[in-house]
Copies of this chain bind each other. A is one copy, B any other.
Amino acid sequence: MTKQIFLDQLDAHSLRERLANEKLTLIIPVGSLEQHGPHLPLGTDAILSTKIAEGVARELGALVAPAFAYGYKSQQKSGGGNHLIGTSSLSAATVIAQTKDLVTSYLKQGFEHIIFLNGHYENYQFLYEGIDLAMESLSREQLGDRFGLLLSYWDYVGEETLAQVYPQGFPGWDIEHGGVLETALMLHLSPNSVDMSRAPVGPAAVLPKFDRLPVVAARTPRSGCLSAPDGASAEKGKLLYDDVVSAISSDLAFELHEAVAL
């Protein structure tokens, strides 16, 4: 029988048994509720980060905590902008507080490593601050060798995979919102939530080097996607998923188990 991977499906007594017998790693998927164009659901970021976390947890023998279903404000250059209907966001202070509270709460219960697996670009720095504040609030004795870790899954897509997914050349992560990567992953991992008949077409958004607030709404394509998901397929999604899960897993396996030696 396989062990339960999702923390919210586990009962407290079983968890206590595991914590007493293992150095347990917990992965917290972080998403958003954000417009992702006409063909992808609002929950795309949480769906993807949860699925990837699940894959990694299986490799590492880790648990997966309930995802953060809401994230920091969508920024125009990475997510189209926070003014778009369908996007429901938290302020920085809230993301930071939530992160700090949970890192502290999980560490106190005895988890050894808390890993935030981010699926919404804009969250990163606020998750970082939350983890850092949690660490500062613990004494060295309380903390021991335990640590927090933060990553965004797209940083683990390999060169080779990129070449296969984007045969005409990788256009850069900055316009990857509702584009090939997310669409392909969703086609592989949550096909019923995707409607390719509604997928937008047309050129990628051209956005300035700066952020301007309030945003000039006209700079975001009407679809809300920063690039079209041309050529996205479930096969490419599988390729991306397997690559990312494997890369994160091996990176973390090293970090978690060789940590003492550093």
Contact = CB atoms under 8 A, between A and B. Distances in A.
A16 B85 contact: yes
A204 interface: no
Contact of A198 (B13, B155, B251): B13
A214 B8 contact: no
Interface in A203-262: 208-214, 216, 218-219, 224, 251, 255, 259, 262
Given A66-B33, A85-B15, A212-B255, A8 B150 contact: no
Indicate the member of A91, A150, A218 with the most B CB atoms within 10 Å. A91
A35 interface: yes
B8 A262 contact: no
A162 interface: no
Contact of A11 (B47, B96, B150, B195): B195
Interface string A24-36: 0000000001011
A208 B41 contact: no
Interface residues of A, number: 89
Interface in A68-120: 69-70, 72-73, 75, 82, 84-94, 96-98, 101-102, 105-106, 109-110
Interface string A133-151: 1010000000100011111
